[in-house]
Amino acid sequence: MKMRSLRMLSVGLSLALFPFLAQAAKLVATWDANSEPDLGGYRLYWGTASRGAATNSAQFSYETNTVVGVAGTPSNVVASLDSDTVYYFSVTAFDTNNNESVFSDEVKAATVAVKVDTGGEWKYVKGTAEASSPPTAWRMLNFDDSAWGTAGDAPFGYSTSPSEGPFGTTLTDMTNFPYTTVFLRKTFTVANPPLVNRLLLNGVYDDGFILWINGNEVVRVNMTNEPAYIPFDHRTAPLGSIEPTNWSVQVTAEALPPLSPTNVLAVQAFNYQTNSSDFKIDMALSVVQQSLIVDTDDADGDGLRDTWETTYHGSTNQDGTADSDGDGISDLHEFIGGSDPTNGASVLAVDIDPAAGGGSRVIAFAAPDATGTGYGTRRFSLEYSTELKNGTWQGVPGYTNIQGAGQMVAFTNAAGAETVYYRVKAWLEE
């Protein structure tokens, strides 16, 4: 038969990085089915080098390939991939006489290593007083934790029951000294922060905790929602004392705090009472999904669509880190936000207009669609905080996860004595 070419639909945009897995990843490849009657099967090819202009397996040899049968939806799980590595994929079809088609479109996906694993080393200080002055400063990346002394290995805690151990750092004095909290900090790196749009957090706790990334609260477990600031001598609620509990949560794009190449994970862990029989805390963080352009229009692998680069820069020589128009925003951030990287006046920004009257303000921003990016959707969330430097940012109700369609988004805040700061977050989705 004459084999028609195939088009690869998607390859591994959701990385199967599971809790406690630090060395390997797996990707799921799917593609269009071939409907010819003498179809014998498919052959999936992958490797760390692109095939370039080669069109068939005689012209280029990928590092690895596997045969996939014709039953069910055409797909294959590719396991035991190296972490922090870009892989390239193509698929072919072959007939019952083993005649093979040309390659499908080549696509690529990146595996991403676990950034913080359980049992790791953390800087910590016992909650006999506030961890910093002001009390929220210790959660920030620029906080100097050298005064906290030596680091310790997780899990932190103690127990009167041997089955709840072992502990990396045993807090023996927590059983007879009146403190119910422990403050922990750990830095982690992200190779290309604008491309990350989902994280997985997991661990074990007894009895509760609050977790921040770069000073932004991400989650609190077995703690009341108020007040936002929890003092050093606070205790858990409302569940009270519990046994060590495994926990995990996915932080999706709309809830993801801004990331930098270097970031800090901050945890305040709480016990139920000073004479509790046990206490335990350990945390892990991994990148679950990394957005990449999934077509052949990003030959240089910098996360910028080649046609976008050519439109604005005349070539694909940009790597996304440059600030071509000198407005303080990198080209990659302008690509994600929908602004012009060659025009310093074109930025994703919040405008504040007092036109509402009565002390109220109109908070507005432009929300362009994803045309020209290679992605299906550009989304936005309006966030606010009552503190600019050390505050916790929260989504404005009704103004999160907004799909960009070229519209102006406007929100009128209520007049009040408290100062409120606003920002807008943008991200791209397939």
Cβ atoms within 10 Å, residue 54: 16
Instruction: Report d(CA 196, CA 332) in Å as an integer.
Output: 12
Q: Residue 390: what pLDDT?
A: 64
Confidence check: pLDDT of 243 > 80: no
Q: How far apart are CA 305 and CA 311, in angstroms?
A: 10
Q: Which domains can be identified in the chain, with CATH numbers?
A: 8-111 (2.60.40.10), 116-289 (2.60.120.260), 306-429 (2.60.40)
What is d(CA 138, CA 141) in angstroms, rounded to the nearest whole number? Answer: 8
Q: Do 279 and 174 meet the contact criterion of CB atoms below 8 Å apart?
A: yes
- Higher per-residue pLDDT: 203 or 288: 203
Tokens of residue 392, six digits:
């916790």
pLDDT tier for residue 21 given thresholds of 50, 70 and 90:
very low
What span, in angstroms and rounded, lies between the C-alpha atoms of 403 and 380?
A: 7
Q: How far apart (Å, rounded) are the C-alpha atoms in residues 61 and 54?
A: 10
Residue 124: predicted pLDDT:
95
The pLDDT assigned to 360 comes to 81
- Residue that is written with structure tokens 């940009």 in the block: 318
Alpha carbon distance 89, 62 (integer Å): 9
User: In angstroms, rounded to a whole number, what is the distance separating the alpha carbons of residues 406 and 418?
Assistant: 32
CA nearest to 107, candidates 83, 91, 84? 91
Distance CA 33, CA 344 (A): 47
Cβ count within 10 A of residue 287: 26
Q: Which helix (H) or strand (E) holds 187?
A: strand 181-189
CB atoms within 10 A of CB 354: 10
For the chain, give the mean pLDDT: 81
Mean pLDDT of 250-257: 81
How far out from the chain centre does Cα 286 lie?
8
Q: What is the DSSP letter of 146?
A: G
Q: Angle CA(68)–CA(73)–CA(77) in degrees, nearest 5?
A: 55
Bridge-partner residues for 412, per DSSP? Answer: 362
- Supply the pLDDT for residue 122: 95
> Is the pLDDT confidence value at 226 over 70?
no
- Return the half-sphere exposure (C-beta side, CA atoms, 13 A cut-off) of residue 153: 5
Give the Cβ contact number of residue 227 at 10 Å. 8
- Cα-Cα-Cα-Cα dihedral sign, residues 167, 172, 173, 176: positive
Q: Which amino acid is at 401?
A: N
Residues 256, 205 contacting (CB under 8 angstroms): no
Task: Give the position of tokens 């290309």.
Answer: 192
The answer, yes or no, to whether residue 296 has pLDDT greater than 90, is no
Q: Are 349 and 364 a contacting pair, CB within 8 Å?
A: no
Q: Can you give the pLDDT at residue 239?
A: 61
pLDDT in tens, 61-103: 999 999 988 887 787 778 777 766 778 888 888 999 999 998 8
State how far the Cα of 327 lies from the Cα of 343, in Å rounded to an integer: 8
Most confidently modeled range among 3-17, 42-56, 213-227: 42-56
Which range in 14-18, 144-148, 224-228, 329-333 is most confidently predicted, on average pLDDT?
Answer: 144-148
Q: Which residues contact 250 (CB under 8 A, 6 or more apart)?
A: 198, 199, 200, 201, 288
pLDDT for 404 beyond 90: yes
